[in-house]
Amino acid sequence: MAALDSDSDEDLVSYGKGLEPLEEGERPKKPIPLQDQTVRDEKGRYKRFHGAFSGGFSAGYFNTVGSKEGWTPSTFVSSRQNRADKSVLGPEDFMDEEDLSEFGIAPKAIVTTDDFASKTKDRLQEKARQLAAAAAPIPGAMLLDDLITPAKLSVGFELLRKMGWKEGQGVGPRVKRRPRRQKPDPGVKIYGCALPPRGSEGSEDEDDDYLPDNVTFAPKDVTPVDFTPKDNVHGLAYKGLDPHQALFGTPGEHLNFLGGGSEGASNLLGNVGLSKGRKLGISGQAFGVGALEEEDDDIYATETLSKYDTVLKDEEPGDGLYGWTAPRQYRNQKEPERDLRYIGKILDGFSLASKPLSSKKLYPPPQLPRDYRPVHYFRPVVPATSENSHLLQVLSESSGKAGQDPGTYSRHQLNASKRGQLLGETPIQGSATSVLEFLSQKDRERIKEMKQVSDLKAAQAKARSLAQNAASSRLQSSTPDLGHCSQHPTLGSWSAATRASNFKPFAKDPEKQRRYEEFLAHMKEGQKDALERCLDPSMTEWERGREREEFARAAQLYVSSHVTLSSRFTHAKEEDDSDQVEVPRDQENDINDKQSAVKMKMFGKLTRDTFEWHPDKLLCKRFNVPDPYPGSTLVGLPRVKRDKYSVFNFLTLPEPTSLPTKPVSSEKGQQQHGSDKSRKLSRWDTSKLERKEDSISEFLSLARSKVGPPKQESSPLVNKEEERTVDKGAASQPEGEGSRPSMDLFKAIFASSSDGKSSSSEEEQDDSENDQEGTEEANFQSSQEVAMVESAVTHTAEPVPCEPAAPFPIQKIQIDEREEFGPRLPPVFCPNTRQKLETPQREKHKKNKEKHKMKKEHRRKREKKKKHKKHKHKSKQKNKKPEKSSSESSDSSDSRSDEEETADLSPRELLRRCTPVVQ
C-alpha cells in the first residue's frame, strides 16, 4: 500500500502488505514468546498434530467431539411441513471441516472445470481409447465417439498457442541445447527387455550432437506421470484377461512380463499396430473362420485356461513348466537364481528383497509320556470323622498321600472349618449348609417321618417287585443305591401330587390315584420303566395292561390340557359377571313432568337435576381447581352394576339421590378418605330419609315444611343430618350409628330378601319401582324396602310425628301434583331436600321460599283443574303403603290389597296410620 502511494518508487514492484509505520513514541512490539506461538485452527482451537485423522479428534469440547455430550446425533426430523429428504451419507458427512480442508484426509481440491481442462490429445488416453476400441464388441465405436465430440480447446490451451506454443512442444523458454538425456542409473537394475522408446525422442537421441548452436529448441514435452488412483477392489497390479491377447491369440504376449502399467499399455498398442496384418475384428472360436479370412490355421490356437496360473506357486509360467512341479532338487537348484531373476512383475514402488526371509522354525509338539491317559479322576472328598477315617486313609493312600497326617496339610489344602479345628475354634452354628437346617424341629421331624414311611413303602415295593420279577435286571443293578433312589421318587411324587392336585383322574380309587401320581413322578424323572415300577404287582396281567394304558392316556391328557392351556392363558383379574352391566347410578328422570313445568315456565327445581359428578383429576388440575372428590377414583357419574337384562335398566328413575352407596363403597371404598366416607354416610342417611319421604313420610316432611320454615324445623333427625353434612370431616361412624338402626338390622333384612348379589341394584329397583305398575318383583322388594324404612323410623324418628295442624291441604296438593305428572314421583323434592341438607348455607334461601309459595299457588290452581283425574291414578300409587314390616311379607297380593286400600285413603287417614307405626 505504502509503495503504491509513493510516487518515487513506481518502478518497484511490491508484494503483500507493508508493515504499518511505527508511531513516534511507540516501541516496537515485542515478539511473541515461544510458548504463545500456538497453532490454532479456524475455530480458534488448538490444533493438534497427532491423531487419527489429520487432527485426530481435535474437535470439540474438552476433547469430546462436537458438543459436550459428544457426537451430536443427526436426528430424523420430518414433519408435515418439512419433509425429511432421504440422504445417502458419504464418508464426508462424518468428517470434520479440518478433514475436508487442504491437509485433511479428504481435501476438497480445486478441480479445473471442463472449460479450463486441457483437451490436448493425451497420448496415454488416446492409446487407452484405442485399446478400448479394439476390445469393444463393435470395433471402431470409439472412433465414432471421437468424431462426434467437438474439438474443444481449453482456455489455457488457446492462451499457450497464442504465446507461440505448438502442439507437441513443452512449455517454457526455449533452450539452446537439449539437455542430455539421463542415462539410466546403473544402480537400478532393469530386467528383461529394454525400456520402450519414449515417444519420438528415441530417434532424436542419436543426432543430438549434430545440432547447430544457433538453433534453440522448444523444451521437451513432458508426459506427466500418470497417477491413476486405484478405484477398484482388485489386488495390486492385477490385470484382467487381456482382450487383445484373448482375441488375437498372441500366446507369447503374456510372457512380456516386464513393464509398468503405462509401458505395458504402450507396448500393447505397439502390437496392435502390428497384429500380423490382421484386421481388427471379432474373431475366435465362437465365430469360426469367416469366408474372407485367409488363414484358418489359427482357429483352435486360442487361449486356453491352462496357460494361466490357477494356483499360486513359485514358478512363473515363463519357465515353461505350465503347472508342472519340478522335482525337488531341480527346484532347489533353481532357487538361488530366483532371487536375482525374479521374473514376475515388480509392483511400482517395490523392489526385490536382497535376502530371503528367514523361515519360521517349527518345533514339534512335546512327546507325551507313554502311560498318559487324557482322563482326570476327581477323588471323593471325605470328611475326616472317626467313622470313615479308615476310608480316608485308603483314599489318601491311593492318591499317594499316605504318609501325611492331617496336621501336615499345607495351608492351602485346608478349608475354613479345618483351619478352625486346628486353631481350636468352636465351629460356627449359623452356617447352615442345607436348606433342611432352616426348617423348624417339627418340620424336620415330619419330613423324617415321611421319609421313613416312603422308605418303608419303597422297601415293600422293592420286595414285591423283587419277588415278582426277579429277572428285572435294572432293578437288580440299582439295588445298591436303592434306598437312596427310591425315596426320591416318592418324595417327588408327593410334591407332584401337591402341584397337580387339581387334576385327579382317579380320585375315586385312592390307591390307583397314588399309583398314577407315582407314575407321573417317574415320568418326570425320565425313567422309562416308570409304568412297570408303579403298577401294582398283585394285579393280573390284563389289569396291569389296562392301567398302563389308562395312565399313559391320563398323563397325556394332563399335559396337554393343563400345561398347554396354562401356558397360554392367565387367570382373569376380575370375575366377569356377564349378566351385569354398568349403568349410571343417577339418571335424569322422566321429562314429562319437566315438560309441563317448562310449559308453565316453572324453571328451577322442577327442571333441574343435580348429580354427583366426578371430574377427572387431570381436568381439575388443568382447570386449577381442587379435586372435589380427592379420594375417589371414579370419573363421571357414579355407576352401579345392575342386571343386564333387567327391566329396570330401561326405566328412568325418578329418584336420583336416594341411593345407598353401601355396596359401591364396599367395592371401591378402600381408597376413599374419611371425609368421603362421611359424605357417603350422610348420603346414606339422606337417602333413608328421602326414602321415607318417598312413601308417606314425604308428606310428613312436606307438611312440616309447610308448617314452619324447613330449616328451623325442630326435628333432631334433620338437624343431625345437617350437622353431619356441614362438617363432613368431623362426622364419624358411631355418631351415625346413633341416629340410625344398626347394620345388623339391615343385614337381616337384606340377607333374607335377595340372593345378595348387590343390594344397590335392589334399591335402585326400589327407587324405580314407583314407576312400575304390575311388576310383582318390584312390589315385593318395595314392600321390603318399606319395611326397612319403617323399622328405621321406629328406631330413629321419635319426633317425626308432627303437629297435626294444617297440613291437609298441602298434602292434598302434593297428591294432586303427583297425579298431574302421572304415576311417577316428582323429583322436585328429592334433590331439593338433598340440596338443603348438603348445602344448608344458601344465599337464595329467601328466594326459594318465595318460589315455594308461588308453586303452591300454582298447584292449587292445577289441583282444581285436574281433580277429576284423581281416581284414575290413585290405583297406581303403590308406594304409599304404611304397612308394618313384620306383617307384610313376600306376598305381593297382600301388599297390593294394602296399597289399594291406602290409595283410597285420604291423606289424613294416611297420616294417622303413619303415626302409630312411627311411635
Partner 1 sequence: MAFPEPRPQAPELPQKLLKTLDCGQGAVRAVRFNGGRPPLYIPSPAPPEAGGPVTPACCSPVDGNYCLTCGSDKTLKLWNPLRGTLLRTYSGHGYEVLDAASSIDNSSLCSGGGDKTVVLWDVASGQVVRKFRGHAGKVNTVQFNEEATVILSGSIDSSIRCWDCRSRKPEPVQKLEEARDGISSVKVSDHEILAGSVDGRVRRYDLRMGQLFSDYIGSPITCTCFSRDGQCTLVSSLDSTLRLLDKDTGELLGEYTGHKNQQYKLDCCLNERDTHVISCSENGKVFFWDLVEGALVLALPVGSSVVQSLAYHPTEPCLLTAMGGSIQCWREEKEGGAG
Site for partner 1 contains 485 (CB under 8 A): no
Site for partner 1 contains 683 (CB under 8 A): no
Nearer to partner 1, 244 or 614 (CB): 614
Least Å from the CB of residue 589 to partner 1: 10
Residues 336-375 touching partner 1, rule: CB under 8 A, are none
Residue 277: exposed, middle, or buried by beta-carbon count in 10 A (0-12, 13-18, 19+)? exposed
Q: Can you tell me the distance from the alpha carbon of 517 to that of 492, in angstroms, rounded to the nearest whole number?
A: 9
- Pick the piece of the chain touching partner 1 (CB under 8 A) from 206-214, 513-521, 697-705, 843-851: 843-851
The candidate with the shortest Cα–Cα distance to 666, out of 756, 795, 781, 588, is: 756
Site for partner 1 contains 155 (CB under 8 A): no
Counting other chains too, the contacts that 911-914 makes at CB distance below 8 Å and 24 or more residues apart are 911/696, 911/699, 911/700, 911/703, 911/804, 911/807, 911/811, 913/696, 913/882, 914/696, 914/697, 914/700, 914/801, 914/882
Phi and psi dihedrals of 858, rounded to 5? -55, -45
Q: Can you tell me the distance from the alpha carbon of 166 to that of 217, in angstroms, rounded to the nearest whole number?
A: 12
Least Å from the CB of residue 625 to partner 1: 5
Nearer to partner 1, 61 or 603 (CB): 603
Site for partner 1 contains 610 (CB under 8 A): yes
Phi and psi dihedrals of 288, rounded to 5? 70, -165
Contact string 417-456 vs partner 1 (x = CB under 8 A): ----------------------------------------
Strand partners, 67: 70
Least Å from the CB of residue 656 to partner 1: 10
Q: Can you tell me the distance from the alpha carbon of 172 to that of 165, in angstroms, rounded to the nearest whole number?
A: 9
Least Å from the CB of residue 634 to partner 1: 10
Site for partner 1 contains 629 (CB under 8 A): yes
Least Å from the CB of residue 839 to partner 1: 9
Which residues are CB-contacts of 838 (< 8 A; sequence separation ≥ 6)?
682, 686, 725
Q: Please give the full DSSP string across 174-211, using - where no structure is assigned.
A: -BSSPPPPPPPPTTS---SSPPPP-TTHHHHHHTTTT-
Strand, coil or helix: what is 40?
strand
Among 186, 327, 626, 734, binds partner 1 (CB under 8 A): 626
Q: Please give the full DSSP string across 335-380, using - where no structure is assigned.
A: HHHHHH---SPPPTT----SSPPPPPPP-PPPPPPTT--S---PPP
Nearer to partner 1, 81 or 232 (CB): 81
Which residues are CB-contacts of 505 (< 8 A; sequence separation ≥ 6)?
513, 516, 554, 557, 558
Q: Can you tell me the distance from the alpha carbon of 134 to that of 139, in angstroms, rounded to the nearest whole number?
A: 5
CA–CA–CA angle 127, 132, 138 (5° rounding): 135
Among 156, 284, 492, 604, binds partner 1 (CB under 8 A): 604
Site for partner 1 contains 241 (CB under 8 A): no
Site for partner 1 contains 729 (CB under 8 A): no
- Pick the piece of the chain touching partner 1 (CB under 8 A) from 56-64, 544-552, 629-637, 865-873: 629-637
Q: Can you tell me the distance from the alpha carbon of 895 to that of 287, in angstroms, rounded to the nearest whole number?
A: 118
Among 30, 180, 601, 872, binds partner 1 (CB under 8 A): 601
Yes or no: say if 721 and 686 are a contact pair by the CB < 8 Å rule.
yes
Site for partner 1 contains 605 (CB under 8 A): yes
Among 265, 637, 745, 903, binds partner 1 (CB under 8 A): 637
Q: Can you tell me the distance from the alpha carbon of 689 to that of 698, in angstroms, rounded to the nearest whole number?
A: 9
> Residue 271: CA atoms inside 13 Å, Cβ hemisphere, count?
21
Strand partners, 636: 614
Task: Name the CA radius of gyration of the chain, rounded.
Answer: 57
Residues 579-598 touching partner 1, rule: CB under 8 A, are 584, 588, 591, 594-595, 597-598
Least Å from the CB of residue 227 to partner 1: 54
Nearer to partner 1, 263 or 609 (CB): 609
Least Å from the CB of residue 549 to partner 1: 58
* 775 CA to centre of own chain: 56
Nearer to partner 1, 588 or 901 (CB): 588
Least Å from the CB of residue 841 to partner 1: 12
- Pick the piece of the chain touching partner 1 (CB under 8 A) from 69-77, 205-213, 625-633, 751-759: 625-633
For the record, the C-alpha cell of 174 comes out as 526455449
Nearer to partner 1, 219 or 631 (CB): 631
Q: Can you tell me the distance from the alpha carbon of 685 to that of 700, in angstroms, rounded to the nearest whole number?
A: 17
Which residues are CB-contacts of 62 (< 8 A; sequence separation ≥ 6)?
68
Which DSSP category does 61 fall into? S
Site for partner 1 contains 852 (CB under 8 A): no
Least Å from the CB of residue 583 to partner 1: 13
Among 182, 623, 734, 868, binds partner 1 (CB under 8 A): 623
- Pick the piece of the chain touching partner 1 (CB under 8 A) from 365-373, 693-701, 732-740, 846-854: 846-854
Yes or no: say if 547 and 535 are a contact pair by the CB < 8 Å rule.
yes
The candidate with the shortest Cα–Cα distance to 488, out of 443, 532, 445, 533, is: 533
The candidate with the shortest Cα–Cα distance to 779, out of 695, 894, 658, 690, is: 894
Least Å from the CB of residue 667 to partner 1: 20
Least Å from the CB of residue 848 to partner 1: 7
The count of residues interacting with partner 1 (CB under 8 A) is 44
Among 466, 620, 903, 905, binds partner 1 (CB under 8 A): 620
- Pick the piece of the chain touching partner 1 (CB under 8 A) from 557-565, 623-631, 744-752, 899-907: 623-631
Among 43, 444, 474, 622, binds partner 1 (CB under 8 A): 622
Residues 72-111 touching partner 1, rule: CB under 8 A, are 80-81
Among 154, 607, 754, 794, binds partner 1 (CB under 8 A): 607
Nearer to partner 1, 190 or 591 (CB): 591
Nearer to partner 1, 609 or 735 (CB): 609
Site for partner 1 contains 674 (CB under 8 A): no
Nearer to partner 1, 406 or 584 (CB): 584
Among 263, 536, 609, 723, binds partner 1 (CB under 8 A): 609
Among 177, 446, 847, 869, binds partner 1 (CB under 8 A): 847
Burial 201-238 (b: 16+ CB within 10 A, else e): eeeeeeeeeeeeeeeeebebbeeeeeeeeeeeeeeeee
Q: Which residues bind partner 1 (CB under 8 A)?
A: 80-81, 584, 588, 591, 594-595, 597-599, 601-605, 607-616, 618-620, 622-629, 635-637, 843-844, 847-848, 851
